Amino acid sequence: MNPGENKEDAKGRFRWKIGIAIILLLAVATVIIKLISPQSEKDYKKSESFTDPVIAVEAVAAMQGDFPVYLTGLGTVTALRTVTVRSRVDGELIRVAFKEGSVVREGDLLAEIDPRAFQVQLMQAEGQLLRDVALLKNAQTDLVRYKTLLEQDSIAAQQSVTQESLVNQYKGTVAIDRGLVADVKLQLSYARITAPISGRLGLRLVDQGNMVKASDTSGLVVITQIQPIAVVFTLPEDNLQAVMKKFRSGAGLPIEAYDRSGKIKLAQGQLLAVDNQIDTSTGTVKLKGQFANEDTALFVNQFVNIKMAMDTLPSVTIVPTAAIQRGTMGSFVYVVNEDQTVSVRPLTIGPTEGEKVAVLEGLKPNEKVVVDGADKLREGIKVKLITRESPPSSDEAPSLTGKKIHQDKTRNSGKHG
């Protein structure tokens, strides 16, 4: 054999070996597939026969009771009175007797102006009064003597008349002097600046040692009355007639103030007044309520939510707002039947208060309504009732989750096989 023939024989043997290897691989693959197929087919049939599990939901029983009807509005806390304390006289501020932000009573000392100039003026006015009083007494004494002499026909009548006029003149002078004394005393009292109302002090506007004048517009400090305190809030004009009817009856409209979130109750008071016109730009009317504010929970310019009690619905069905569903048919709930299935129940709902809503028609007390898990429900589906303290187990999961778990198990068994 020549070299060329040996090379061809070698190639033939190599191809023959490759063919044998491919045949062996195919045979092994066939055996493996046959071994795996029964288990895969079994898992597949199991997954196909898997039915939707019972859906776990939370349900509560509808209650029956009186349901209060409120009107709500956004309000701003305002002081009943706000006073800017100013000096009534000119002088040096020698003392600031208040602490910023503190609560003061009417008549409490706030500051003092240098009183020495007014004390000097008072001394002068009192000295002038004493002099004129002495002159008056002397003139009165002379008048008595002149009248006696006139009765004895010892002096002319004109002299007695002149003396009587002099007495009256001195009386006028004494009256003027007394007025001057009173005026200076008044100016001296103004040197002590006291609180004109009870309330909370703001920040100090003038420091001790400054010269203050009665013409100053900024003042020394601002006082706001916080006990009682007012809240100005708005309501839609559509509610005005109902509010005015009850307000004019004299029965009184209780109102409650809540924080910005509407969850924490801050104070309770009464409706004080209703504005005399409607705001045409917003279609609302302003109302003012008054609160005792004994615990100072309300602060001036604070934003609050106001709830005004208007009426009470007696013996109505009450459910949580979480149970109310809305769709093309309107408002409805899922009612849990005795056989642990759910039914769709259309409702006529009334006012809402917090996390509760009044049901006017469509539901009876003690019927159980779904409050959690309603997004997975449909008419007639089987459910299992749970509480928040006992969450559902894995086998109580929704049907789609169960199918996915079985599909994942099938894939994993195929890989491991």
pLDDT, tens digit (0-9, with 9 covering 90-100), for 223-253: 999 999 999 999 999 989 989 988 888 777 8
pLDDT at 98 over 80: yes
Q: How far is CA 201 from CA 189, 198, 396, in A?
A: 22, 9, 64
Collapsed DSSP state (helix, strand, coil) of residue 22: helix
Q: What is the pTM of this model?
A: 0.61
What pLDDT sits at residue 86? 95
- How far out from the chain centre does Cα 338 lie? 44
Euclidean distance between CA atoms 384 and 406, whole angstroms: 22
311-351 pLDDT, tens per residue?
888 989 999 999 999 888 889 999 999 888 989 999 998 88
Domains of the chain (ranges plus CATH)? 55-69+315-403 (2.40.420.20), 91-220 (no CATH), 224-314 (2.40.30.170)
Is residue 228 reached through a cis peptide bond, with omega within 30 degrees of 0 on the bond before it?
Answer: yes
**Burial of residue 100 (number of CB atoms within 10 Å: 0-12, 13-18, 19+):** exposed
User: Looking at per-residue confidence, does 358 or 38 come out higher?
Assistant: 358
Nearest to 254 by CA among 233, 270, 230: 270
If pLDDT is split at 50, 70 and 90, which confidence band does 35 have? low
How many angstroms separate the most distant Cα atoms in the chain? Answer: 198
Nearest to 202 by CA among 301, 346, 65: 301
Q: How far is CA 256 from CA 71, 197, 205, 308, 397, in A?
A: 10, 26, 35, 6, 44
Nearest to 414 by CA among 14, 142, 18, 42: 42
User: Looking at per-residue confidence, does 41 or 89 come out higher?
Assistant: 89
Task: Rounding to the nearest 10 degrees, give the CA dihedral for residues 103, 108, 112, 113.
Answer: 110
Residue in this structure with the two tokens 């309504």, named with its chain if needed: 369
What pLDDT sits at residue 154? 76
Query: How many C-beta atoms surround the C-beta of residue 111 within 10 A?
Result: 22
Beta strand 383-386 with 55-61 is parallel
Q: Which helix (H) or strand (E) holds 404?
A: helix 399-416
Euclidean distance between CA atoms 274 and 413, whole angstroms: 77
Euclidean distance between CA atoms 390 and 229, whole angstroms: 48
Nearest to 258 by CA among 71, 69, 74: 74
Calculate what percentage of the chain has a pLDDT beyond 70.
84
What pLDDT sits at residue 412? 43
Beta strand 330-336 with 368-372 is antiparallel
Token pair, residue 360, equals 């006017």
What pLDDT sits at residue 37? 54
If pLDDT is split at 50, 70 and 90, which confidence band does 306 have? very high
Q: Mean per-residue pLDDT for 53-60?
A: 85
- Return mean pLDDT, the chain: 84
pLDDT at 10 over 90: no
What pLDDT sits at residue 26? 77
What phi-psi label fits residue 354: left (phi over 0), alpha (psi between -120 and 50 degrees) or beta? left
Token pair, residue 333, equals 């709930």
